[in-house]
Amino acid sequence: MAPVEEAKSSRRFNFSAGPAMLPDLVLDKIVEELGDYEGLGMSILEMGHRDAGGPVQQVLQEATDCVRHLLRVPANYAVIWQQGGAHGQFAAVPLNLLGDKTQADYVDTGVWSKRAMNEAGKFCTTRICAEVRERQGKAEVPPVSEWDLSDKSAYVHICANDTISGVEFLEDPDVGDRLLVADFTSTLLSRPVNISRYAALYCSSGKNLGPAGVCLVIVRRDLLDMALPRTPMILHWKASADTSPVASLVNTPPVFAIYACGHVLKGLRRSFGDCGTLDTVRQRVTRRADDVYKIIDESEGFYINKVSSSYRSQTTICFTFGRDAANQREWAGSITAKVKLTELEEAFMKEAKERGMNGLEGHPAFGGIRICLYNGLPDKAVDEAC
């Protein structure tokens, strides 16, 4: 099962920020197995999660094993699946990691960092320890040596790829002994990750991981005892890690999402070799992103991307039209707000749709164009777009 497989000719290409395209072979497999899972005369959706060693637990275990294998997760980390998406984890992070501290540091690289920080602000004092700055008209993140990290803070949080600003950490920051936490929702499985640099990381599904509905959490085991007593069971990392015979059985797990993610993960593992590294995936991701950025950079200002090359997102590429530069659109300050599209943006989207390309509009609250190159998007889509 290969995520690089060409899509069926009837399929439209989905370049949106998510939910993202799933490989055809994953969809086919789901359809094939839906009515009768492995000849058991039942759908996996109808089977009990308490059946020890049964199909649902096997599905959970296989998906977890794939995550461990693909991301080279060290043995001292727990891999769990929780509900509530990344928004759930925005609250889970402080609840599980504050311990006896009452403060946390956040690196602000865009809307998603702020949203994580605002949610954490319900449980502790939050500080922005670093934020995106502009150098020669391009956005960049200051080096870690310039982050204003506080000894009073329990952890420092980053958004590995801000899906809206298109600012990505292409390397895993080294914050020494401090606890680093990352929201990897829109970038996990696009490159190898040095898991040991993180105290915890999380990735809501709906992008590279598979269909929406579940959030993957990878957390260092020695930190599992730090949760505040008031942490709801559903967001309690240790409670999830400790269920038996497999983890993540605190409540009825979202079986369908985990099962579908499992197929995506197995496909990734098969098509990129069993070597267990994501280096080959990164090569593909970089090649495709380079193709798009080349067009932007060589357009003589027709298209403008405002992120420095060291922090340019390889997955969510955001740009505007040079001719729209004077057309300042004020953000309404809400992620659910909608800005008015410019004529060029409308025309671009219309033409793209006519050519079978969907979801190219930027985030509704910001406008512009956004090209998302998640793993499930076939190479043919990128070639045609370029």
Does 345 interact with ligand PMP (rule: CB under 6 A)?
no
- Toward ligand PMP, which CB reaches closer, 55 or 206? 206
Does 26 interact with ligand PMP (rule: CB under 6 A)?
no
**Alpha-carbon distance 323 to 326, whole Å?**
7
| Residue nearest to ligand PMP as judged by C-beta position | 85
What's the closest the beta carbon of residue 340 comes to ligand PMP, in angstroms?
22
State the DSSP string of 262-330. Answer: HHHHHHHHHHT-TT--SHHHHHHHHHHHHHHHHHHHTSTTSEE--B-GGGB-SSEEEEEEGGGTT----
Does 216 interact with ligand PMP (rule: CB under 6 A)?
no
Which of 15, 37, 77, 112 touches ligand PMP by CB under 6 A?
112
- Toward ligand PMP, which CB reaches closer, 185 or 240? 185
Does 139 interact with ligand PMP (rule: CB under 6 A)?
no
Does 190 interact with ligand PMP (rule: CB under 6 A)?
no
- Toward ligand PMP, which CB reaches closer, 184 or 321? 184
**Alpha-carbon distance 18 to 359, whole Å?**
9
**Catalytic residue status for 183:** yes
Which of 96, 109, 163, 248 touches ligand PMP by CB under 6 A?
163
Does 108 interact with ligand PMP (rule: CB under 6 A)?
no
Helix H or strand E encompassing 216 = strand 215-220
The CB density around residue 350, as the number of other CB atoms within 10 Å, is 9
What's the closest the beta carbon of residue 335 comes to ligand PMP, in angstroms?
10
The residues in 70-99 that bind ligand PMP, with binding defined as CB under 6 A, are: 85-87
Does 159 interact with ligand PMP (rule: CB under 6 A)?
yes
Q: Give whole-number Cα distances, 96 to 128, 139, 189, 199, in Å.
A: 20, 32, 24, 11
Would you give the DSSP letter of residue 76? T
Order across the sheet with 316-321: list the strands: 303-304, 316-321, 369-372
What's the closest the beta carbon of residue 85 comes to ligand PMP, in angstroms?
3
**Alpha-carbon distance 209 to 22, whole Å?**
9
The vertex-138 CA angle with 137 and 140, nearest 5°, equals: 140
Q: Which residues are catalytic?
A: 112, 183, 207
Q: Which residues bind ligand PMP (CB under 6 A)?
A: 17-18, 85-87, 112, 159, 163, 183, 185-186, 204
